[in-house]
Structure 1
Amino acid sequence: MKEKLQLKEIPRIKTISRKDFVEKYVKTQQPVVIERLIEDWPAYNKWTLDYIKKVAGEKEVPLYDNRPISSKYKFNEPHLRMKMGEYIDLLRSEPTKYRIFLYHLLKEVPSLQKDFQYPKIGLRFLKQLPMLFFGGEISKVFMHYDIDFANILHFHFEGKKECILFPPSQSKYLYKVPHALIAREDINFKEPDFNKFPALKKAEGFITHLTHGETLYMPEGYWHQMTYLTPGFSMSLRAIPRSAANLSKAVYNVAFMRYFDNYMRKWRGQKWIDYKNAQAVKTTHKRNQIKI
């Protein structure tokens, strides 16, 4: 029997008061799934892939697949473009690795802005329009944490989505790539190769499966990998970090780290990416006193 990661189920609750949410989850920085938080949103009953196709089918959208980061593409440069209606037809017809990442659909289709509200749950949300994420069966988002260390409410619509999370305290086991926000992209977090990546044995994380209308709270700086088990889409609302340390890390990431990495990628090309991947292994094994 193959060894697996140490993952425990994320706690689930039906509803929760603002006070309890802040005390039990935000202050303790613990993830939770809230099953009935958005039942009063128009989006809860309206937002399906068919509805999105109806209101946004002619919009051209950027698509990404699971190919590793390379010097060929700029940061967040899409791999393909397609009309939303054609993309949804693709999702319906067959498994696909193509997904939509950080897309301002609510800006493109303003009528959708009437379908949600900012939950009064004790978070100071950033009020720019939220971004949407779409994926087909088998598509996934690599293991990463967010550049701004935000507290995130992640709402899922249609289908089923698997979410694997690790708290920041587990970074030392996850083969973090330097000058980036990702783990080594060749790690299969469903069936990890512990011979190649032995430090993963020590990592302790969380797992859950989201269905339509459920909300996942991801605390500041949490690592997360999302896998679409069926076609579906999600929306995230973000709140600024409460921790001064995390806020300073966010400023560093936004103001310096990403520009430095882009410069080095432009200057050294694939050699820079290969160097970072090698350093991820070297640093992780040194930190955990692992010899291979």
Structure 2
Amino acid sequence: MKSKMNLEAIPKVDRISKAEFLREYVQPQKPVVIKRLIDDWPAYKKWDLDYVNKMAGDRTVPLYDDRPISSKYKFNEAHAQMKMSQYIELLKKGPSNYRIFLYNLLKEVPAFQEDFKFPDVGLRFLKQLPMLFFGGENSRVFMHYDIDYANILHFHFHGKKQCILFPPSESKHLYKVPHALIAREDIDFNDPDFEKFPVLKKARGYITELEHGEALYMPEGYWHHMTYLTAGFSMSLRATPRTLTNFSKAVYNLIFMRHFDNYMRKLRGQKWIDYKNEQAVKRTHKKNDISL
């Protein structure tokens, strides 16, 4: 696993007790991969692309590709749609940049709900149905953090997926776009351009490859960048923020930030997107005393 970024391997453990998980990872807010947390779930043996096709092939699903965010689309608005069976056929043919993002398949097909349970690891899980994420080989999810500052258990199925994480303390090094939850989308975190984005050299993060059935713990507010090394899909269980500060940030994002950003996109169009990208560079360089 190669990267020019300063990335530390996320530790992997076969199993872990609730007390150890809380003490070693949740309280200090450090990521970990648990390899056999869900080997008693029916999903551990059943969930792959063929099973999804069998159970949900007739469902129409929203699709996202790797085009940059623009004023044409609202926050999290899909770029296309097709039948799940057609999408899975597309994934099996080879590399594809089409992804399914935040899809509530477990609501669409209730039988999936019988295949998992909320693990007893000491997190206060939000009990609404978890979302699924699908991606084709080589498709990527740009660097971002989640709007609700949740603690996340991210379970991967079918194939391999690379995950790069940064703690919130590294935001000042990641060229964060103002009024948004993302870094500059033209940064390739697998092969960054340090001449164009020199502050990335200061960033300290984590990296891992998830395989079928493994669970990644992502602490609240963590940045994450995903690359599907093979076609596959994942499921996230979300838990509430542990601190009042992060809960307040989540409320701000949900109630004000995303609506303000959508309003400005409608008002100023692409000029607003371009302004934010310019400010991402200017503000990052100013914070790090780099002359423009």
The interval holding the TM-score normalised by the smaller chain is over 0.9
Give the AA of the match of 1:176: K
**1:118-157 aligned within 5 A:** 118-157=118-157
Partners of 1:94 and 1:209 lie apart in 2 by: 20
- Taking only the aligned residue pairs, the percentage that are identical comes to 72
Give the AA of the match of 2:18: R
What do you get for the CA RMSD once the two structures are aligned? 0.9
Whether the 8 Å CA contact 2:3–2:190 is kept in 1: the answer is no
**1:253-264 aligned within 5 A:** 253-264=253-264
Give the AA of the match of 1:119: P
TM-score calculated relative to the size of structure 2: 0.99
User: What is the DSSP-based 3-state SS (H/G/I as helix, E as strand, rest coil) of the residue aligned with 2:261?
Assistant: helix
Partners of 1:181 and 1:135 lie apart in 2 by: 21
CA spacing shift, 1:93–1:246, aligned 2, 3 Å = same
Q: Any unmatched runs of 5+ in structure 2?
A: none
What is the deviation of 1:74?
1.5
String of CA shifts for 1:128-180, please: whole Å, max 9, x gaps. 00000000001110000000000000000010000000000000000000000
Partners of 1:77 and 1:28 lie apart in 2 by: 35
Give the AA of the match of 1:205: G
TM-score calculated relative to the size of structure 1: 0.99
Partners of 2:96 and 2:291 lie apart in 1 by: 38
What is the deviation of 1:291?
1.6
Partner residue, 2:271: 271
Partners of 2:177 and 2:76 lie apart in 1 by: 17
Partner residue, 1:193: 193
Q: Any unmatched runs of 5+ in structure 1?
A: none
Partner residue, 1:70: 70
What is the deviation of 1:244?
1.0
Paired residues, number: 291
What is the deviation of 1:8?
0.8
What is the deviation of 1:243?
1.1
**1:236-247 aligned within 5 A:** 236-247=236-247
What is the deviation of 1:3?
8.3
String of CA shifts for 1:211-242, please: whole Å, max 9, x gaps. 00000000010000000000000000000000
User: What is the DSSP-based 3-state SS (H/G/I as helix, E as strand, rest coil) of the residue aligned with 1:78?
Assistant: coil
